Amino acid sequence: MRSFLFLNLLLVLYSCDTLQDVNEIKGPCTIVLVDGSTVVSNGNIEIMDKTGAITYRDDAGKIWSLFKDDYQSYTCN
């Protein structure tokens, strides 16, 4: 039973630590993809420090993620 509680505590602490690795940037943002096309996020975007992955919501509220290999750059207003 103790090992189960310790494992749960460890998972909670790890989860809290990883949340600090996310930077939220106020939008709207334009993301330039590797093929030269662009994606516009009218809201904020979140960027993971460790991976460089960008997460954003489209106009319908659907969540999308772009990994570092998927985009060239981004700009936000």
Q: What is the pLDDT along the chain (77 residues), one digit of tens a residue?
A: 555 555 555 566 555 555 569 999 999 999 999 999 999 999 999 999 999 999 999 999 999 999 999 999 999 98
CA within 13 Å, CB half, 30: 6
E-assigned strand segments in the chain = 22-25, 29-33, 38-41, 45-48, 54-57, 63-66, 71-76
Its pTM stands at 0.71
- How many degrees, rounded to 5, is the angle at CA 18 between CA 27 and CA 50? 70
